[in-house]
Amino acid sequence: MRGHRNRQSNGRSDLPRRPADSLIQDFSMAPPPHRRPGFSRKAQYGLFATYVIAIAGTVVAALLLIISVADPTGFAALRAAGAEITAPVARFFNSIRRTGNDMGGNLSAYFDAASKNAALTKEVKASRTKLIEARALKVENARLRGLLKLKDETGEQVAVGRLISSTASSTRRIATLSIGSNYGVERAQPVRGPSGLIGRVIETGPTTARILLVTDAENLVPVMRVGDGLPAFSTGLGNGLVVIKPLNLGESPFKVGDIIVTSGNGGLYQPNIPFARVIRKTSDGALARPLADPANSPYAIVMKAYQAEARAEQQAIAPDGKTQEVAE
DSSP of 23-55, one letter per residue? HHHHHHHSPPTT--TT--HHHHHHHHHHHHHHH
How much of the chain is helix, strand and coil, in % rounded to 5?
Answer: 45, 20, 35
CA distances from residue 159 to 24, 119, 178, 180, 196 in whole angstroms, order as listed: 87, 42, 10, 9, 16
Please, are residues 64 and 134 in contact by the beta-carbon 8 Å criterion? no
Q: Which CATH number fits domain 157-320: 3.30.70.270, 2.40.10.340, 1.20.1090.10, 2.60.210.10?
A: 2.40.10.340
Q: pTM for the whole thing?
A: 0.54
Q: What is the CA radius of gyration of the chain?
A: 36
Please, are residues 163 and 177 in contact by the beta-carbon 8 Å criterion? yes
240's torsion region: left (phi>0), alpha (psi -120 to 50) or beta? left
pLDDT of residue 136: 66
Residues 6+ apart with CB under 8 A from 161: 177, 178, 179, 183, 209, 299, 300, 302
CA distances from residue 45 to 31, 40, 41, 55 in whole angstroms, order as listed: 26, 9, 6, 16
**DSSP state letter for 112:** H
pLDDT of residue 234: 92
pLDDT tens string for the chain (328 positions)?
Answer: 444 444 444 545 555 555 555 544 554 455 555 555 445 777 888 888 888 898 988 888 888 788 777 777 777 877 788 778 888 888 888 888 888 877 877 777 666 656 566 677 777 777 877 877 777 677 556 544 533 443 454 447 788 888 888 775 567 888 889 899 988 899 889 998 888 899 999 999 899 999 999 999 888 999 999 888 889 999 998 888 999 999 887 788 899 999 999 988 888 888 888 899 999 998 889 999 999 888 777 778 898 888 765 555 555 655 554 434 433 3
pLDDT of residue 102: 77
pLDDT of residue 243: 93
Crossing angle of helices 41-70 and 72-112, in 10° steps, is 120
230's torsion region: left (phi>0), alpha (psi -120 to 50) or beta? beta
Q: What is the DSSP string of 63-92?
A: HHHHHHHH-HHHHHHHHHHHHHHHHHHHHH
pLDDT of residue 248: 83
Q: Where are the domains positioned within the chain?
A: 49-112, 116-147, 157-320
Buried b (16+ CB within 10 A) or exposed e, 310-327: ebeeeeeeeebebeebbe
Which among 78, 83, 106 is positioned nearest to 177, based on CA atoms?
A: 83
pLDDT of residue 199: 92
CA distances from residue 175 to 90, 202, 295 in whole angstroms, order as listed: 12, 10, 10
